[in-house]
Amino acid sequence: MPPDALAPTATDPDLAQEQAHLATARAALRRMRERAAELFATGETVAGDGYGAESLGAALAGRVAALADHPDTPLFFGRLDFGGDAGDHADESHHIGRRHVTDEHGEPLVLDWRAPVARAFYRASASDPLGVRVRRRFGFAAGALTSFEDEHLDRGEELGTGSALLTAEIERPRVGPMRDIVATIQPEQDELVRAGLDQSICVQGAPGTGKTAVGLHRAAYLLYAYREQLRKTGVLVVGPNQAFLRYIAAVLPALGEVEVRQATIDDLIARGPLRGTEVRGTDPPETAALKHDPRLAEVLSRALWSRVRPPAEPLVVPDGGNRWRLSIDDLTDLVDQVRREAPPYLLGRERVQARVVAALHRQAEVRRAESPGDSWTRRLARSRPVTQCLDAVWPKLTPEQLIFLVLSDPGLLAEAATDLLDPAEQATLRWARPPRSVKATRWSDADTMLLDEAAGLLERLPSFGHIVVDEAQDLSPMQARALARRCRHGSVTILGDLAQGTAPWAAADWRETLAHLTKPAATISPLTTGFRVPATVLALANRLLPSLAVDVPPAESLRRDGELVICPVPELAPAVVAEVTAALAVEGSIAVIAADAAVDELRSALAAANVSTVDPSDPAPDPAGRVTVVPATLAKGLEYDHVIAVEPATIASAEARGLHRLYVVLTRAVSRLTVLHAQPLPAPLRD
Ligand SMILES: Nc1ncnc2c1ncn2[C@@H]1O[C@H](COP(=O)(O)OP(=O)(O)OP(=O)(O)O)[C@@H](O)[C@H]1O
């Protein structure tokens, strides 16, 4: 049923009252911020010790930042009026916004969207009103409250996706980086956002169904609902590349969360064992693919543990007039016992050392009838015979040393990989010309992952409380394992679309990825309502789906507007210049997306026509730049108002999973997609 009051006039007394409430809330937020800033100024001097001062200072600085009032993001976006039967909230009325705002008496003026009571804003429906009588959504223009939209749920009114404000939000021209969707989160999205911290979830969603948005809002929700638990362990957001991370960087701070770490999978891994050492080597594609293969995990594990050798001689430790002694059998028992405990390798070495010294200690106690002190224990632990014995049975090793050995020693590799890799695969993996030393090695991208796997075998990494992984369809099994190592005690939100998998090792089935992430019980949920790509554009992209060999539910676009133009042209560069020039007359961001190899020529052609362009890899792009020239391999996750896709046939033939790449490229447009082609379109796109 349509609601009765959708478009209040400017003189509407209700509207005036809401505008007054906004002004009051803004003033209150200013006061809260000033108070926090005052505390911040004095905090460093009142805390007793240095550490206390530092953590208090950081907490307060975070609070000051979180309380910032962004002129473009309204302080509240909705209101709930509860009915008389709403239990604890009977007859209450609450404004819902991006953060709590209280007046000077501590009375709430705005409730944080993450508070339990705010859940009804997203979930209440006419059939299940959750105690809500009226749900009100506000419309804003340039920070000013200009309209509202009511749904009298108690009278069976419900707008759903027919809400004019939701439509306006979805259809607004895009400019700049991604924004939060907190005002218009849909019920099926909210269910994912508010899943508990103990739940690992995997979201399979077609392009533009809000996966990234859901992941970021879930991070913000978890930090609110489980702040204490996550204070130490933190939340990590993993994205495919820096351009993508820059695109999403503003969302969490706008939601008041300024301390979430965001990293690409490559950075996360390279920062581990290599400690920032530059990646300077390259692998042929088949070698790289093999290094991403999960069988390598077992090969490395076997190679490492083959370093543990049975003791060949007894341990004899001269100590003043005494000689302490452990027989070969004693040592063998002790090493076997630690092996059975299966600790990380270096912890195992420490355990062997500790138990050897404890055994010697017992001998000394019996002989001397008194217990030797700590300095004796330390001296013996470091003594030459003990160290030599340890080095013989359980040698020290770094990740670099292990991988160096595996890739350069055919005997070791053959032994570790005997039933796992055939001889041809072993030859593919090994260095054709091994480097002279570990130091002289030029590690490749794929090596960083092996180094990370090795580091995980040697020592345990600290675990994040929660990891959000976007574009997870491209994770290789070994990359998934690297994330699993960083989330042993935490949960994950895995977001992706199997149809957009472009990596050689892209997943065909989420269950496999989840197994490598060691979260096999995670629930897999679909998102199928598209908020970005107009229906006509989606229909074109969907023609590729049967060729992509994946089983995914198709998306249905909410957007009936939008425009698709497919244009054969005699020459690409002049056509691109003409199309961009025409597009500049209309509001919104513009992207020219082309095969990577064609990008330079198109940039030059645009520059020659005096059109300035932005490079998505630029760490500080001109915020006023409206035209971005995007290599197809960087387009994933991004969106632009008007996309000009150049020569689909070249994009499709540029790589093994080129049709998947093309599917990504064709699904970046918010309002208009223009396809320019000089060659015939790939077969699935032809009429
Ligand atoms: N509930 C919503 N209300 C308004 N806008 C939404 C909503 N959900 C998603 N959007 C918008 O739709 C667009 C696509 O969202 P998002 O980038 O999260 O999709 P995605 O599924 O991650 O896409 P891709 O598969 O291409 O990476 C964004 O502009 C986002 O703000």
Mutate to test the pocket of ligand 1, among 211, 237, 660 (most ligand atoms within 8 A of CB): 211
pLDDT score at 283: 92
C-alpha 216 to ligand 1 mean position (Å): 11
Q: How many CA atoms does the CB half-sphere of 134 hold within 13 Å?
A: 17
CB 657 within 8 A of CB 620: no
pLDDT score at 420: 96
C-alpha 557 to ligand 1 mean position (Å): 11
> 150-154, 372-376, 520-524: which range is least confident on average?
372-376
pLDDT at residue 625 tops 80: yes
CB 637 within 8 A of CB 472: no
| Closest residue to atom 18 of ligand 1, CA basis | 210
| Binding site per annotation, positions for ATP | 205-212
Summarize pLDDT for 256-294 with one digit per residue, the tens: 888 899 999 988 887 555 555 567 788 999 999 999 999
pLDDT at residue 51 tops 60: no
Mutate to test the pocket of ligand 1, among 122, 531, 666 (most ligand atoms within 8 A of CB): 531
Summarize pLDDT for 174-187 with one digit per residue, the tens: 777 788 889 889 99
Q: Does residue 251 sit in helix, strand or coil?
A: helix
Confidence of residue 6 (pLDDT cuts 50, 70, 90): very low
Instruction: Report the mean per-residue pLDDT for the chain.
Output: 89
Higher per-residue pLDDT: 22 or 272 = 22
pLDDT score at 10: 46
pLDDT at residue 18 tops 60: yes
Closest alpha carbon to 451 in 409, 406, 414: 406
In ligand 1, the atom with minimum distance to the C-alpha of 186 is 1
Share of the chain above pLDDT 90, in %: 68
pLDDT score at 166: 81
pLDDT at residue 58 tops 70: no
| Backbone angles phi and psi of 671, in degrees to 5 | -120, -45
C-alpha 28 to ligand 1 mean position (Å): 32
pLDDT at residue 2 tops 80: no
CB 124 within 8 A of CB 78: no
Please give the average per-residue pLDDT across 60-85, as a whole number: 75
C-alpha 112 to ligand 1 mean position (Å): 22
Higher per-residue pLDDT: 544 or 251 = 544
Please give the average per-residue pLDDT across 214-232, as a whole number: 94
CB 655 within 8 A of CB 502: yes
| Closest residue to atom 16 of ligand 1, CA basis | 210
Question: What are the b/e assignments for 443-479, b being 16+ CB within 10 Å?
Answer: bbbbbbbbbbbbbbbbeeeebbbbbbbbbbbbbbbbb
Give ∠ CA 528-204-237 in degrees, rounded to 5.
120
Please give the average per-residue pLDDT across 529-544, as a whole number: 93
| Closest residue to atom 1 of ligand 1, CA basis | 185
C-alpha 247 to ligand 1 mean position (Å): 13
Q: Does residue 676 sit in helix, strand or coil?
A: strand
Sign of CA pseudo-dihedral 215, 220, 225, 226: positive
Q: Does residue 572 sit in helix, strand or coil?
A: helix
Task: Tell me the two tokens of residue 2.
Answer: 């349509």
Summarize pLDDT for 424-469 with one digit per residue, the tens: 999 999 999 999 999 889 999 899 999 999 999 999 988 999 999 9
C-alpha 211 to ligand 1 mean position (Å): 6
Distance of CA 550 to the CA centre of its chain: 23
Give residues (CB < 6 A) around ligand 1: 169-170, 181, 184-186, 189, 205, 207-213, 497, 500, 531-532, 637, 639, 667
Distance of CA 587 to the CA centre of its chain: 31
* pTM for the model: 0.89
| Closest residue to atom 15 of ligand 1, CA basis | 210
Please give the average per-residue pLDDT across 224-230, as a whole number: 93
Summarize pLDDT for 366-388 with one digit per residue, the tens: 887 778 888 999 999 999 999 99
Cα 505 to Cα 293: distance, rounded to the nearest angstrom: 8
Please give the average per-residue pLDDT across 38-66, as a whole number: 59
Sign of CA pseudo-dihedral 193, 195, 199, 205: negative
pLDDT score at 12: 81
